Amino acid sequence: MDQGIAAIAAIVLHFALQAAVIVRALLRPHRDPASRIAWVVVIAAVPVLGIIAYLLFGEVSIGRRRIEKTRAVLSRLPKPQDAPGSGAAVFGAEVPERHRHLFRVGASISGFEPIGGNRASLPADSNAVIDAMVADIDAAADHVHLLFYIWLPDNNGCRVADALIRAAGRGVTCRAMADDLGSRLMIHSEHWRRMASAGVRLARALPIGNPLLRALRGRIDLRNHRKIVVIDDRITYCGSQNCADPDFAIKAKFAPWVDAMVRFEGPIARQNQHLFAGDWMAHVDDDIDDLLRQPLPALSSDAGPVMSAQAIGTGPTVRWSAMPEMFETLIYTARRELTITTPYYVPDESMQSALCACARRGVRTTLVFPARNDSWIVAAASRSYYPDLLAAGVHIFEYVGGLLHTKSLTLDGEVTLIGSANMDRRSFDLNYENNILYYDPALTAAMRERQRAYIARSRPVIGSDVEAWSWRRRLWNNTVAVLGPVL
């Protein structure tokens, strides 16, 4: 009898706890209905494990203390447009009226106005990016700031580490930050210790510590996915590339990793400096906001055209839906041509609809994905969206020359968005990301040419081939996509 009563009590307790967690999931702010439904199903259908999964992964939180510290740091950092001498930099002067609304969306996210007077170039490949980066670090006179999601102790990763050691040796202040999960191999290597011994100031972004205790303080899978390099407050890099060889030893079977990174020179560096400072000061007791109070560096007097650009930083402590709003605004603005490359495509309903509507109104809409994805879950989910995209007239290509990792969007041959953000829910809702939006027909043409090169090494996805997929494959793809809001 006692055992029966205990069993009934346990069942009642479980259902009460299950109901409480379901109510919590329904009451969480900033969550789309599909995500709520998905979590309710998981909690109700999988006893105990569903509750544990929700408590560990169901809410976007890096921990109350970290959120408070991050917001406190950001609240006191001066905006680049408020810096002394900012009047010399023309904010958005090169942007025509038809595109200014794009930059207004960007300004609503990070608070940065589009800033003019910049020059930029697109290095040929990943190794060329590292060559340029090392040369810039070797020429640094005051400071070098670096942040990467993945920093590997391979050839390119060690070249950058050695450049920082050389810079620190000649008195340049070097600060380097790497995500504690993505860069764990470098952080636990002798190269990290060598940098510390040489005077490079180091920090681990979102440190994990004890995984069990870390889970109690906030989600362990919320990561700093940014790629930021700032040198002497006048040079910055932005794009998809991690600090590693294209061979990418930790996932060599998908290599080479195919990335694009733009080197900017001009006032736009101050905006990336602001993003770096916010991340750095949220982790390290090292107040560097004085760097943001310095006059903006004088605009280059070199001959040649200049461009307007704007940094956009998003993450779990930035307003909800920021990056998807930026993407969707760009998609709806397209009038002639829209080309997007991304390795991970798991959109929400509004973004999928935006792309379909873009093609239906006569815009040549092209998506380029990798043929082999390092995430089999994302690959399956991505392909579940193919039928509707193709039916709307979207051109889909799958790159076969390695893992296409470039995250780029070109619009009507004039505007480009490049950076770390993928078109998936992880980049939109969970990770810290950084992109740069710029108006420059010449540099956009260079990026568009790079996209054409990707397409030339891709196979087109044909509607008849997708229709021929077996029911088992379609069932698998669609089932994984249903779990997208959870994953």
| Residue pair 335/368 in contact by the 8 Å Cβ criterion | no
Q: How many CB atoms lie within 10 A of CB 332?
A: 14
Q: Quick one: pLDDT band at residue 155, thresholds 50, 70, 90?
A: very high
- Supply the DSSP symbol for 150: -
- 286 in the same domain as 172: yes
- 400 in the same domain as 285: no
Instruction: Give the DSSP H/E element, type plus range, for residue 485.
Output: none
Residue 318's identity, in one-letter code, is V
- Does the annotation mark 225 as catalytic? yes
- 299 has pLDDT over 90: no
- 290 in the same domain as 152: yes
Is 397 within a domain? yes
- Supply the DSSP symbol for 363: -
Give the Cα separation of 341 and 440 in Å (integer): 19
Residue with tokens 């619009």: 411
- From the list 232, 247, 289, 395, the catalytic residue is 232
Q: Which of 23-27, 119-123, 316-320 has the highest mean pLDDT?
A: 119-123
8/387: higher pLDDT: 387
- 1 has pLDDT over 60: no
Is 330 within a domain? yes
State residue 16's pLDDT score.
83
Q: Closest Cα to residue 304, out of 481, 105, 119? A: 119
Calculate mean pLDDT across residues 329-355: 96
State residue 87's pLDDT score.
62
Is 487 within a domain? no
Q: What is the mean pLDDT of the chain?
A: 90
- 403 has pLDDT over 90: yes
Q: Quick one: pLDDT band at residue 23, thresholds 50, 70, 90?
A: confident
Is 135 within a domain? yes
Is 255 within a domain? yes
State residue 298's pLDDT score.
67
- From the list 145, 374, 405, 429, the catalytic residue is 405
Sign of CA dihedral 271, 106, 228, 184: positive
- 232 in the same domain as 102: yes
Residue 55's identity, in one-letter code, is L
Q: Quick one: pLDDT band at residue 88, thresholds 50, 70, 90?
A: low
Q: Which two tokens stand for residue 237?
A: 């890099």
- 201 has pLDDT over 90: yes
Residue with tokens 């006059």: 295
- 343 in the same domain as 196: no
Backbone dihedral angles phi then psi of residue 70, each to the nearest 5 degrees: -60, -45
Calculate mean pLDDT across residues 434-462: 97
Is 317 within a domain? no
Three-class SS state of 198: helix
Is 157 within a domain? yes
- From the list 227, 259, 374, 424, the catalytic residue is 227
* Cα 142 to chain centroid, rounded: 28
Which residue among 284, 312, 340 closes a domain? 312
Give the Cα separation of 302 and 85 in Å (integer): 19
- 163 has pLDDT over 70: yes
Within 13 A of 404's CA, how many CA atoms are on the CB side? 30
Backbone dihedral angles phi then psi of residue 291, each to the nearest 5 degrees: -60, -30
State residue 90's pLDDT score.
73
- 357 in the same domain as 465: yes
Calculate mean pLDDT across residues 213-237: 86
Q: Quick one: pLDDT band at residue 418, thresholds 50, 70, 90?
A: very high
| Residue pair 272/312 in contact by the 8 Å Cβ criterion | no
- From the list 191, 225, 274, 283, the catalytic residue is 225
Q: Which residues 6+ apart lie within 8 Å of 427 measured at CB?
A: 225, 323, 344, 420, 421, 433
- From the list 191, 407, 424, 440, the catalytic residue is 407
- Does the annotation mark 405 as catalytic? yes
Residues in the chain: 487
- From the list 138, 162, 247, 412, the catalytic residue is 412
Which residue among 255, 286, 312 closes a domain? 312
State residue 9's pLDDT score.
75
Q: Quick one: pLDDT band at residue 336, thresholds 50, 70, 90?
A: very high
Give the domain extent around 87.
Answer: 64-312
Within 13 A of 260's CA, how many CA atoms are on the CB side? 29
Lowest mean pLDDT among 198-207, 298-307, 309-318, 390-399: 298-307
Partners of residue 276 on adjacent β-strands: none
- 138 has pLDDT over 70: yes
- 57 has pLDDT over 90: no
- Portion of the chain with pLDDT greater than 70, in percent: 93
- DSSP symbols for 6-43: HHHHHHHHHHHHHHHHHHHHHH-SS--HHHHHHHHHHH
Q: Quick one: pLDDT band at residue 209, thresholds 50, 70, 90?
A: confident
Start-to-end C-alpha separation, the chain: 43
pLDDT tens per residue across span 251-284: 999 999 999 999 999 999 999 999 999 999 999 9
Domain count, the chain: 3
Calculate mean pLDDT across residues 77-97: 77
- 176 in the same domain as 258: yes
Calculate mean pLDDT across residues 326-347: 97
Which residue among 285, 312, 339 closes a domain? 312
- CA R_g for the chain: 23
- Does the annotation mark 227 as catalytic? yes
Sign of CA dihedral 94, 98, 101, 102: negative
State residue 216's pLDDT score.
64
Give the Cα separation of 487 and 478 in Å (integer): 14
Give the Cα separation of 208 and 191 in Å (integer): 20
438/212: higher pLDDT: 438
Q: Quick one: pLDDT band at residue 486, thresholds 50, 70, 90?
A: low
| Residue pair 433/238 in contact by the 8 Å Cβ criterion | no
- 357 has pLDDT over 90: yes
Calculate mean pLDDT across residues 424-449: 94
Q: Which two tokens stand for residue 445?
A: 């043409």
Calculate mean pLDDT across residues 27-33: 72
Stated pTM of the model = 0.91
- 478 in the same domain as 393: yes
State residue 449's pLDDT score.
98
- 291 in the same domain as 178: yes
Q: Which residues 6+ apart lie within 8 Å of 131 measured at CB?
A: 123
State residue 220's pLDDT score.
73
- DSSP symbols for 368-436: EEESS-S-HHHHHHHHTTHHHHHHHT-EEEEE-SSEE---EEEETTTEEEEES--EEHIIIIISBEEEE
Q: What is the crossing angle of helices 33-45 and 49-57, to 10°?
A: 140
Calculate mean pLDDT across residues 214-224: 74
Residue with tokens 């009898």: 1
- 128 has pLDDT over 60: yes
Q: Which two tokens stand for residue 334?
A: 């397209």
- Supply the DSSP symbol for 453: H
Is 396 within a domain? yes
- 196 in the same domain as 50: no
Residue with tokens 């089999």: 376
Give the Cα separation of 154 and 162 in Å (integer): 12
Residue 277's identity, in one-letter code, is A
Q: Which two tokens stand for residue 409?
A: 């969007």
The CATH code of the domain that includes 132 is: 3.30.870.10
Lowest mean pLDDT among 5-14, 170-179, 183-192, 307-316: 5-14
- 220 in the same domain as 129: yes
- 22 has pLDDT over 90: no
- DSSP symbols for 76-121: HSPPGGGSTTGGGS-TTTTS-HHHHHHHHHHHHHH-PPPEEEEEEE
State residue 254's pLDDT score.
93
- 261 in the same domain as 246: yes
State residue 157's pLDDT score.
98
State residue 92's pLDDT score.
75
